Amino acid sequence: MTYMKEIQKAVDDWAQTLETPYWQPLENLARLSEEVGELARELNIRFGAKKKKPKEEVGEIEDEMGDIIFTLACIANTLDLDLQKGFDHAMSKCYGRDKDLHEKK
């Protein structure tokens, strides 16, 4: 699979059209934290006790997740990292080290 490489390339193609393509890594980390907070807020509204304010728009969970993926791609591109390699490593832990950690169907 090369989905992550395609995502990183799409983000980079867009970023290269800008005078300053990427923020600094710590700035992007702050942005990522904000995006994760927005996802948490939407999940809390849908599945938790939090209620929307009267004039507040309903956010889309998918959109918030997309913002997180975009920001992760920005961080990876800035640091010249391969998100696919990181994801593959995470999945190998699911099928290797952690394979007996959870109850199976």
* 3-state SS, one letter per residue, for 41-64: HHHHHHHCCCCCCCCCCCCCHHHH
Global pTM reads 0.85
**1.10.287.130, 1.10.340.30, 1.10.10.10, 1.10.287.1080: CATH of 25-95:** 1.10.287.1080
Averaged confidence pLDDT in the chain: 91
Q: CA 16, 3, 85, 65 torsion: positive or negative?
A: positive
Contact 40, 55 (CB under 8 A): no
Q: Which residue has the tokens 């290797």?
A: 96
pLDDT tens digits, 68-103: 999 999 999 999 999 999 999 998 998 887 777 777
Rounded Cα distance between 82 and 51, Å, is 39
What is the predicted pLDDT for the residue at 77?
98
Rounded Cα distance between 55 and 62, Å, is 21
What's the average model confidence in pLDDT over 21-37?
A: 97
Q: Which class for 77: exposed (0-12), middle (13-18), buried (19 or more C-beta within 10 A)? A: buried
Sequence spans of domains, the chain: 25-95
Going by the DSSP 8-state scheme, the letter that residue 77 receives in this structure is H
